[in-house]
A and B are shown apart, each in its own frame.
Chain A
Amino acid sequence: MTLYLLRRLGAVAAILLVICAVTFVIFYVVPSDPAVQACGKTCTPERVAEVRAQMGLDRPVWEQFGAYVVGIFAGRTLAAGVECGFPCLGFSYQNSLPVWDLLIDRLGTSVSLAIGAAALWLVIGLSVGVISALRRGSALDRTLMVTTLTSASLPVYFVAMLLLLFAVRVTGLLPYPAYVELTEDPVAWASNLILPWVTLAALYAAMYARLSRAQMIETMAEPYIRTARAKGLHERTVVTKHGMRAAVTPIVTIFGMDLGGLLAGAMITETVFGLPGIGRLAYDGIVKADQPVILGTTLLAAFFIVLANLLVDLVYAVIDPRVRYS
């Protein structure tokens, strides 16, 4: 088990390194020159060259990459004599803040968004799925399935705009979304996040409902359920203890991946609602050709996804005794 874990962690590091390298190279060939941009409106070629040297962009790409990777673990001193401590992801070209600080600052928003939405969609998705499965073929099942199918087919921004229109513009029930820190004012935090939560949950709950329904139906047809029933167990015990436990296993995989992806930023939702999260940071970075920010957000996002994968596999062992680590 320990060996397995070590091997997996090694693979995680390797994947992150490769992602880092690929992103680095791609942005090295980007058509915009950060030095020209930083230099401003009327700038002589000599001054651009000075600025480039200042930003450390005059060195070969592999050297820059090496410095970057080493800097993550050991910190580094940038050309201007500015210290960049561990974990150094460089400084944003846009606002000269350490990328690490920016990521940490924005993470709160993305985590608030992801956790709230996930709680919502898990509860709704799974209950709808299980109820539908147990009442298979009934009018209730049909209604629920049509609803979830519709909800899953609507684009995220479509739902977001409709919610904004009705909850904010027309009825004035909710304030215009603007992120408030949880520690600052929990009520405002929640009321500002309701719409983004519902938007995301509408999409995911629908997918989870469909998935859990299918899983549940399959599981309930298994022989061991019949055995359990034959033993005279109470139907409730059969459903919760034997049925749901098995049905939920594959959902854990997907949930882990989805949550990992969301923690790394829900770009569209954050853009529509103007939430300052990781996705929005990444998008702004791309639009403004802010390479250190793009690299940082890409790495963080990849980290979450890879980590989620690892955790999912570990959790599997706990809930599914069939899995053994080789």
Chain B
Amino acid sequence: MSKRTSLLVAGLLLGVAACGGGGQAAEPKSGSDTPAKGGTLTILSNQDFSHLDPTRNWTMPQMDFGIRLLYRTLTTFKAEPGAKASEIVPDLATDLGTPTEGGKVWTFTLKDGVKYEDGTPVKAQDIKYNVERSFAPELPGGPNYAQLYLAGGEDYKGPLKGKHLDSIQTPDDKTIVFTLKRPVAEFSYTVTLPTFAPVPESKEAGAQYDNRPFSSGPYKIEIYDRGKEMVLVRNEHWDPATDTVRKAYPDRIVVKQGLRQTVIDDRLIDSRGEDSAAISYSDASAASLAKVLPKPEVKARLVSEISGCTDMLGFNTSKAPFDDPKMRQAVHFALDKQAMQTAGGGPGMTEIATSYLPPAMSGGQKQDVYQLPPNGDVEKAKALLGGKTLDVGLTISTGDKALGEAAQASLKRAGINLTLNPVDPSVFYDTIGDTAKTPDMFTYGWCPDYPSGATFLPLLFDGRTIVEKGNSGNVWQFKDDAVQKRIDEIQAMTDTAAAQQAWIDLDKQVMQLSPAVPFSWDRKPLLIGKDVTGAFGHPVWSGQLDFAVLGVTQK
């Protein structure tokens, strides 16, 4: 399941899903109950970080890693499991920001005593500078919120050529004022993103900054040998009194990169020697789960928080045969979601999805429009096809072969013949995001932001958001006037409860048109060693362990 390592978590990763009654909040798993300072925590990973430069850090696990260990942002999420994880607290700022002009102007004041790894104080200008960096084409890949929200950002090309953005003002070293294009009520959430971490202009290194971000967090980089190893040591100038979230228990954190996933899993199952103070950065493989589940001692060391994402089979609705809703529905009926569930790791790891919105976002209730048996309804599918057979292609990422084969086998029952096209993860999103090349069918996942249908349905199903290349969100090129009209109406609602219900109803409406078939809501399986304390999956970071509070038992 390699897709979950990076780009799957598409879209606006800003808020959180696991809220309400649906999420099973995991208790922190730990070998000992009193966390203590000291020791070395080892993180075993099958990959290198793609970007740790705060301007460019926008994929899931490394956002968690960067924000919790290396840099601080204006506000941040609480380090607590379950529903509380979606609450934000001030981090570098003294409060959650003061909106004026109806939410168009936001002012933040920095705390006293926040320092970089060299002891110099964090200044408001440094945050301004980093936000400006996110406009630079030399530093692509990061969150695009600043570009979307800040006034005058349209023609700005970043600070590397000496130009600055007027819509961010720093009247003194402690105050930063953002002027936005339009009111943004949830801007306090926006500034949790690494874009809003400080980078002093004197430390600018262009693309090379990625290899040695200057720390404002509890740890600094001692060694970073890309693809092999990273060693973090304490940032002595980080003052715990200024930080309510990060506990920084271990003295050292060592990241071992480029290991085989099965080797990582085996090491953690054994949990011998220094591996007892190790955790996995990447998902345990399905085969390893078969080793873990029968052993209660090991199973207790498996953290599997729900990721809050919905996995879907998408259609290219712009051309035959899937421009016809009946053909799409036929796939919906024919799909054996139970087989997909097995391919995804079984009931322990994934739940069968019956709607686009995960249960946490539909009031804790699973909503089920079609009421299908888990194996699908082949007869109904055949009826919808009207005696026809379909020959279509399904493009999958190479890591999702098992899912692709399960879909293929189950659709064949209804006379829908799939040709599988496994492509490298690197090419996958390019292919489906290019409207000229979008395949007939493909797999796609979406993770919500803060618990609102507003971060889900408009991004996925509003036909006005489609772009020709690099298309994301509405990758099915789905255009429906009624749906678009309804989206506008709901977005204009002021009553949040009514809006929430309206999103749920819209979900049903779109399900009937079936531009995509949701098939699973999954969990993120991560193994930890015997001596690791405070491990829980943080729902904001799609179930990744929260690095802020991990510790190692002292012997």
Contacts and interface: CB of A to CB of B under 8 A. Distances in A.
B470 A48 contact: yes
Nearest to B266: A169
Contacts of A47: 137, 140
Interface in B415-430: 424-427, 429-430
A32 B430 contact: yes
A97 B208 CA distance: 7
B267 A176 contact: yes
Q: Describe B's contact surface by its main secondary structure.
A: loop
B377 interface: no
A246 interface: no
Given A51-B137, A287-B425, A95 B260 contact: no
A96 B141 contact: no
B10 interface: yes
Interface stretch (B222-230, B352-360, B490-498): B222-230
B12, B48, B469: most-surrounded residue (chain A CB, <10 A): B469
B208 A50 contact: no
B210 A31 contact: no
A36 B430 contact: yes
A51 B140 contact: yes
B472 A50 contact: no
A279 to B, nearest CB: 12
Interface residues of A, number: 48
A36 B470 contact: yes
A290 to B, nearest CB: 8
Contact of B426 (A32, A45, A50, A169): A32
Interface string A18-59: 000000000000011100111111111101101101100000
B439 interface: no
Contacts, number: 119
Interface size class of B (residues with CB under 8 A): 35 or more
A54 B136 CA distance: 10
Given A36-B470, A40-B142, A50-B157, A105 B225 contact: yes
A33 B467 contact: no
Interface stretch (A224-232, A268-276, A297-305): A268-276
A53 B250 CA distance: 44
A1 interface: no
B292 to A, nearest CB: 15
A284 interface: yes
B199 to A, nearest CB: 16
Given A40-B142, A45-B469, A276-B227, A33 B259 contact: no
Given A41-B7, A42-B472, A289 B50 contact: no
Contacts of A48: 469-470
B433 interface: yes
B56, B142, B260: most-surrounded residue (chain A CB, <10 A): B260
A169 B270 CA distance: 9
B138 A39 contact: no
A289 B398 CA distance: 14
A315 B254 CA distance: 46
A96 B469 contact: no
A50 B144 CA distance: 15
A172 B211 CA distance: 36
A288 interface: yes
Interface string B141-152: 110100000000
A45, A96, A273: most-surrounded residue (chain B CB, <10 A): A96
B259 A178 contact: yes
B38 interface: no
B260 A274 contact: yes
A191 interface: no
B40 to A, nearest CB: 15
A82 interface: yes
Nearest to A101: B226
B263, B425, B467: most-surrounded residue (chain A CB, <10 A): B263
B260 A91 contact: no
A43, A50, A97, A280: most-surrounded residue (chain B CB, <10 A): A43
Contacts of B12: 42
Contacts of A287: 424-426
A84 B58 CA distance: 28
B208 A176 contact: no
Contact of A38 (B140, B227, B467): B140
B464 to A, nearest CB: 14
Contact of B227 (A32, A44, A164, A284): A284
B340 to A, nearest CB: 25
B201 to A, nearest CB: 16
Contacts of B469: 33, 36, 45, 48
Given A95-B211, A169-B266, A39 B140 contact: yes
Interface string B119-159: 00000000000000000011011101000000000000100
Given A53-B137, A271-B260, A288-B426, A45 B468 contact: yes
A41 B58 contact: yes
Contact of B226 (A38, A97, A172, A178): A97
A80 interface: yes
A43 B210 contact: no
Contacts of A95: 48, 210-211, 226-227
Contacts of B266: 168-169, 176
A94 B50 CA distance: 7
Contacts of B258: 274, 276, 280, 284
B107 interface: no
Interface string A225-253: 00000000000000000000000000000
Contact of B228 (A32, A37, A94, A179): A179
Contacts of A38: 140-141
B481 to A, nearest CB: 24
Contacts of B429: 37
B207 A40 contact: no
Interface in B264-322: 266-267, 270, 272
B256 interface: yes
A178 B263 CA distance: 10
Interface in B461-486: 467-470, 472-473
B66 interface: no
Interface in A276-317: 276, 280-281, 284, 286-289
A45 B138 contact: no
Contacts of A179: 228
B424 to A, nearest CB: 6
Contacts of B206: 80, 82
B431 interface: yes
30 contacts: A31-B427, A32-B424, A32-B427, A37-B429, A39-B141, A40-B56, A41-B11, A42-B11, A42-B473, A43-B140, A44-B467, A45-B467, A45-B469, A45-B470, A54-B137, A80-B138, A80-B206, A91-B207, A94-B48, A94-B50, A102-B226, A105-B225, A168-B266, A169-B270, A172-B272, A176-B266, A280-B258, A286-B424, A287-B425, A289-B424
Interface of A: 31-33, 36-45, 47-48, 50-51, 53-54, 80, 82, 91, 94-97, 102, 105, 164, 168-169, 172, 176-179, 271-274, 276, 280-281, 284, 286-289
Which are the 9 A-B pairs with shortest beta-carbon distances? A50-B137, A96-B207, A40-B141, A32-B427, A289-B426, A274-B259, A39-B140, A38-B140, A54-B137
